[in-house]
Structure 1
């Protein structure tokens, strides 16, 4: 018999972030599993280091490091999010229905982050696969500079569709700089001068398309989008040529 889930609605308002997060943790200890958080106003560290089958519907704009070190919960942000979403996240899912800031998914090791709109700089920096965990970030809009910088594993899918930056390239400068693992898929084309040193964009193969299609279906389902429309364009992939991209810069003793 499935245990009944216990729900709770909290209003963040002007509550100090430390107090707000302590209240959430006390409620989890009492058996609450499903949270609705209203009037979030930059409160940091929401759902940080939480584990297990928990859900959060977040209204307003949560602060930095949302879902950091998280293992399992599902977060839906019905607005924008600030920097550091999913910092060193191990498992779970974060859905952002608006924009997101810089360093999304820093050192992320598992789970998924689905963003409808644009993102800032250094998204996916130091992202890595861990054991059987394969982290995934899908960005529906465009990205700033250094997307996938020093990326060591996982998947970034950049769609460039849901953006108000019509004149901007799909990604900023130095895409994939220092990348030594994982893969970045981009819908459409990416200018070669946007790529980091030693990288180029290559056509995807049938195996890549299957990975993209499965990820797009999941993403579109969460954000109520048309997966067929997303898949109607060609994709390219960016992969590192070496696991030691800067190895030739060091002189052995």
Structure 2
């Protein structure tokens, strides 16, 4: 079914979406979307939302199984505390993507903003995965506790822009970040280091990237033609010395 978002207040649009899902719709196309907040938030069914236009902040927050396809750019806070499902953005996306994300996948074709993957964590058997095909701003992987971030640096509209910003991995104490090509170690936070991939890492990475490439029609062999490295925390308690020791 199709819902025209032209001129609709975000609450009214989201009410229409919830009513359609409750009525059993499995494929919903939203047209003329222009900055409406909270689209897809809390949806617990395997429905596919295709968005024509640019959705507002907090797309797919608390989502638990749906698929959202954005044919344009996304804004901030995509996948906030998301549990399951997938978000596919065919353009750029903003800041604070995947905040506290506990499961599911977020695939961004182009550049992403600041603080991507902040507080991302694994939850029981769930392992969240966020892939950025372009470049990233400062604080990538900040306070990351689990899950996987992948930065390709390939599909940016700004050839002169650095692949990643400063304070990369600040406070990171879990999870894994994979980066295609070189990492600017001067921009890494002191809590993290650069490591070579194991055979198991490469097998895991290939699985994620086959899924990503399939969503965008990208040549998987081209993506894998460049060397990857992984960023890991040096400690599971990077700020442990700031607190009183636990009693023995």
| TM bucket, shorter chain | over 0.9
Q: CA deviation at 1:252?
A: 3.7
Q: CA deviation at 1:165?
A: 2.2
5 Å matches for 1:45-124? 45-124=38-117
Q: Give the TM-score taking structure 1 as reference length.
A: 0.95
Which residue in the other structure is 1:237 paired with?
230
* Structure 1 residue ranges without an equivalent (≥5): 1-7
* Secondary structure in structure 2 of the residue aligned to 1:93: strand
Q: CA deviation at 1:167?
A: 1.9
Q: Is 1:184 matched with 2:177? A: yes
Which residue in the other structure is 2:216 paired with?
223
Cα distance between partner residues in 1 of 2:237 and 2:135: 28
Cα distance between partner residues in 2 of 1:90 and 1:156: 16
Kindly tell me the number of residue pairs found equivalent between the two proteins. Answer: 246
Cα distance between partner residues in 2 of 1:229 and 1:108: 29
Which residue in the other structure is 1:203 paired with?
196
* Secondary structure in structure 2 of the residue aligned to 1:200: strand
Deviates more, 1:107-116 or 1:192-201: 192-201
Which residue in the other structure is 1:16 paired with?
9
* Secondary structure in structure 1 of the residue aligned to 2:127: coil
Q: Kindly indicate whether the alpha-carbon contact (under 8 Å) linking 2:172 and 2:191 is maintained by their aligned counterparts in 1.
A: no
Q: CA deviation at 1:68?
A: 0.3
The C-alpha deviation readout for 1:55-80, integer Å capped at 9, x for no partner, is 01111000000000000001110000
Of 214, 221, 225 in structure 1, the residue corresponding to residue 207 of structure 2 is: 214
The C-alpha deviation readout for 1:112-164, integer Å capped at 9, x for no partner, is 00000000000000000000000000000000000110000000010000012
